[in-house]
Structure 1
């Protein structure tokens, strides 16, 4: 039997568009003795959230499923696909996260996901009832076992379930296990998946195919990287990360194949993740162009480079907005950067408007605005200029804040936090520097000017201001933040590296606690920030929910 793995980019809610992608893949193999394998919730996209409560969505999905079923009539090729099924039982949630096997015009098998993740970015138990039906089916003489994503993760180090769907295979001699997934990527996830599926293969003594989707859906980026292992857990194929791909395998030949895992280094993964995340967010939200404030600093420079790669430089507009506190380099470096990228750069000085704002405040209150107020005035003038450009030309504003600064609230609401999406919001400051160097290295030339990479970080909102006036040095700050935000998810080496760095700086516990309090107090800002492209094991937004009006 031929196995055809469909690693596709689905849009949440676009059932007709998603169906078309699946049909296009199917029509090329429909006359073959094959099985087309699609990913989890392929018709609705993952994750549809409260869209599942719309009856119209379920009706449209039902129509799409019937079209797929009809397409298989009289054909030799079947389809495995993830979808949402209604729960007709009196008790429990109203829906199942389901898998169907379609063959010769019928749905010949269905399975309901048994393990529903409710941690980190996942909340499937909000909508779905855990399944209890059998996950084994004999299809054309081939004994198949089925898993839906989390079903394979019952015995991992971070999550312990009393149920293990893999145990359901013990009484069967399987020819193949099929795992359909919607697994968003983060640092380290590719290796984790292979380790988990290796356990399934060795425990069942059968080969396993693991199909994942690609694409950006809001904060989440699905990298694909679908793969197969043989019955002793050895990798026999792996599909390309971050690309749509159709991959053909012969079930009978799996033991003869051998492949090396394709692991991106950290910077390559981050670049692939952010580029795909931005491209899909902009496109799926109906935009074609973006606008970015260019300060001449590292964050806006890397953001401009990512967006240029994702959308093409002709679809990226940069605006430099100098004030009386801006250095000459903030404009000149922006010019050099945009010339290197081929991006159009506009200049809108805020000096006169800032002076007027100060006078207006003095007239209104009888007092001179404080230094902090004046700093925020400048940031908000710049934010307003970007939004005006967006309103007039229909370009989406891209925010440029990094995770270190967003963690401690080193950002201005309705100012530099403005935007529809933030590609750097899950990257610590030192990761932004490393990514800048990698972009230059990968390009074979100095795309991001070295002067930008080398200059001392500064918001340039007051005379002689630098970030270190308010924050610890970024290597230290990043280590403290990573332990505080993601500590329980870090592996031993990552955790030890952070602890050693803190020891090197001889930091007092009181100083660490001060940073922790800054993180806690900035939660109200993050609630009003644009979505971020998720990269780390725990990100702000979907991955970390804390109360605002609280004491802790």
Structure 2
């Protein structure tokens, strides 16, 4: 039996287009919530179809299947008896003007949809392009209190709660839908969200939601999606806030949960979709940010592999820090038995690189192969010189080696059905220190949004989480090198990584002009050179594998620059 004022925040991991699977998660979470005495269970944005559906919303059949799935969830059933639901879905009402769809939240009670709240504020920044797909709501929706809850609801969707006029120095929109809901009598603001993860975003959300509850004098039930869909990672972190802004309950990050809590306070209960209590969070690690990034990437790799229909992954192991971290992520995400590490030494590979790659594989327990590329490398050079052509230049020879390695990994992928994870970091991808169809070959760039300096920290976090050495200590301490020619070091071609990463942070993520970056203490010539490299490498990034997003500005769909252009530094 429902207890008065008890609700459940159901942060579930949906898959875009998997209507049956998403509905099954709703039913499972609702049953758990009902058994725990909740009168209302709230689910994330577009739960019915998964977020973000993108151009699938242009397909009439997709929208029809979403409508049917919502109708099925609303039919009277034993699993929903005595509990109301708020579920995100794409609403396509007859006669709506183009694009004809609203991003909506349905309140389901007593076997029917009793109210629909539509998203008012449609973001068009970074990875968002919602005016392409949705109509904005002209008004906000309040609904009568579901039985057992005692307070009327204000239905809002994601961005609607991100425009508190008093919290933001420069609000994006003229209207504040939450203020409208409270003026209309909402006793509990319900916000269904699919807010992507980025470093530092979770505490920002909490400050913003706390300020909104306090400023508007109304409690807020915020439910965020969890899981990875393509490049976007969703961290969950759903929470219930009192009218004074205090956090009454908070769901864990990066895992599905049904958070059962009371509007008047009291100890919340975090349950899994199987109804079992979730373990309490562990103590904060020494490097909390690096550990958080690691957890995000593990979740992202696991979901990308699973949702794309793969079960295994293959990683090229160079003995360096980037491939080591990628292998650690893959092993935790998929299980060591489902990961193959492949070392591909050349005539220039050092003995320590081969040793470190093998030791990493042993430490992780992943399968391991070593395939020397010297015969293939030599065959390429001989074939290209067969008609009397001059020897390849130094750069071309280096790229041949990288492309031989890419061919080997893709052959293994084709033969075994395993997904190739590329190992390039954000620093390299930014300045083009990577080879098309070589080390860029693969299906997912697991650490492509992790700068080199952060790679070291996240790899340390992987060792710390395991409680033992996974990445060999020498991998941390030796100078980075592509080992494509004798005595090569990364720093022969690039500024020191601490310098490079600060310049890239300022330019890519903070969008600072050249003069402001120089004012941070950098040499102007180095800054100009780095910025030119970023601009000139756009064609490579356009052909890169999807990059798991962990920063405010990742390479990919959230950063759209032309390839053919004349803007230079």
CA distance in 2, matches of 1:290, 1:33: 41
CA distance in 2, matches of 1:257, 1:306: 32
Aligned: 1:150 with 2:159: yes
SS at match of 2:539: helix
- Counterpart in the other structure of 1:107: 113
Aligned: 1:26 with 2:30: yes
Deviation of the 1:22 alpha carbon: 0.5
- Counterpart in the other structure of 1:50: 55
Deviation of the 1:157 alpha carbon: 4.4
- Counterpart in the other structure of 1:200: 212
Deviation of the 1:524 alpha carbon: 0.3
CA distance in 1, matches of 2:555, 2:380: 33
Shift in alpha-carbon separation, 1:214–1:364, aligned structure 2, 3 A: farther
Shift in alpha-carbon separation, 1:57–1:92, aligned structure 2, 3 A: closer
Deviation of the 1:53 alpha carbon: 1.1
Deviation of the 1:214 alpha carbon: 0.7
Contact kept, 8 Å, 1:72 with 1:103, in 2: the verdict is: no
- Counterpart in the other structure of 1:125: 131
Contact kept, 8 Å, 1:4 with 1:249, in 2: the verdict is: yes
Q: How many residues align?
A: 542
Q: For residues 76-111 of structure 1, what are the alpha-carbon distances to aligned partners after superposition, in whole Å with 9 as ceiling and x for unaligned?
A: 211101100014345342100001101112211111
Deviation of the 1:204 alpha carbon: 2.0
Structure 2: 5+ residue stretches without partners: 271-279
- Counterpart in the other structure of 1:64: 69
Counterpart among 419, 441, 458 of residue 418 in structure 1: 441
- Counterpart in the other structure of 1:94: 100
Counterpart among 462, 466, 484 of residue 461 in structure 1: 484
CA distance in 2, matches of 1:355, 1:158: 60
CA distance in 2, matches of 1:542, 1:362: 41
Counterpart among 372, 376, 386 of residue 363 in structure 1: 386
Deviation of the 1:33 alpha carbon: 6.2
Deviation of the 1:170 alpha carbon: 4.4
Shift in alpha-carbon separation, 1:225–1:256, aligned structure 2, 3 A: closer
Deviation of the 1:441 alpha carbon: 2.2
Shift in alpha-carbon separation, 1:36–1:361, aligned structure 2, 3 A: same
Contact kept, 8 Å, 2:210 with 2:246, in 1: the verdict is: yes
- Counterpart in the other structure of 2:558: 543
Shift in alpha-carbon separation, 1:345–1:408, aligned structure 2, 3 A: same
SS at match of 1:160: coil
Contact kept, 8 Å, 1:236 with 1:254, in 2: the verdict is: yes
Deviation of the 1:514 alpha carbon: 1.0
CA distance in 2, matches of 1:337, 1:456: 18
Counterpart among 522, 527, 532 of residue 512 in structure 1: 527
Shift in alpha-carbon separation, 1:53–1:151, aligned structure 2, 3 A: same
1:255-334 correspondence runs (5 A): 265-334=288-357
CA distance in 2, matches of 1:397, 1:279: 13
Aligned: 1:254 with 2:265: yes
Counterpart among 3, 18, 37 of residue 14 in structure 1: 18
Structure 1: 5+ residue stretches without partners: 490-495
Using the TM superposition, name which of 141-150 and 262-271 deviates more: 262-271
1:395-474 correspondence runs (5 A): 395-474=418-497
Shift in alpha-carbon separation, 1:400–1:205, aligned structure 2, 3 A: same
SS at match of 2:504: helix
Shift in alpha-carbon separation, 1:412–1:159, aligned structure 2, 3 A: farther
Deviation of the 1:75 alpha carbon: 2.7
CA distance in 2, matches of 1:347, 1:255: 57
- Counterpart in the other structure of 1:245: 257
- With the length of structure 2 as denominator, give the TM-score of the two structures: 0.91
CA distance in 2, matches of 1:239, 1:169: 25
CA distance in 2, matches of 1:158, 1:190: 20
Give me the CA root mean square deviation: 2.4
- Counterpart in the other structure of 2:543: 528
CA distance in 2, matches of 1:306, 1:282: 12
SS at match of 2:183: coil
- Counterpart in the other structure of 1:492: none
Using the TM superposition, name which of 103-112 and 515-524 deviates more: 103-112
SS at match of 2:40: strand
Aligned: 1:226 with 2:238: yes
Using the TM superposition, name which of 50-59 and 67-76 deviates more: 67-76
Counterpart among 236, 239, 260 of residue 248 in structure 2: 236
Q: For residues 430-478 of structure 1, what are the alpha-carbon distances to aligned partners after superposition, in whole Å with 9 as ceiling and x for unaligned?
A: 0001111122222222210010111110000011111111000000000
Deviation of the 1:146 alpha carbon: 2.0
- With the length of structure 1 as denominator, give the TM-score of the two structures: 0.94
- Counterpart in the other structure of 2:401: 378
CA distance in 1, matches of 2:505, 2:528: 14
- Counterpart in the other structure of 2:187: 175
Deviation of the 1:59 alpha carbon: 1.5
Q: For residues 345-385 of structure 1, what are the alpha-carbon distances to aligned partners after superposition, in whole Å with 9 as ceiling and x for unaligned?
A: 10110112111211111124611100001000000000000
Deviation of the 1:36 alpha carbon: 1.1
Contact kept, 8 Å, 1:116 with 1:150, in 2: the verdict is: yes
Shift in alpha-carbon separation, 1:431–1:29, aligned structure 2, 3 A: closer
Counterpart among 61, 81, 86 of residue 75 in structure 1: 81
Deviation of the 1:26 alpha carbon: 2.0
Shift in alpha-carbon separation, 1:166–1:475, aligned structure 2, 3 A: same
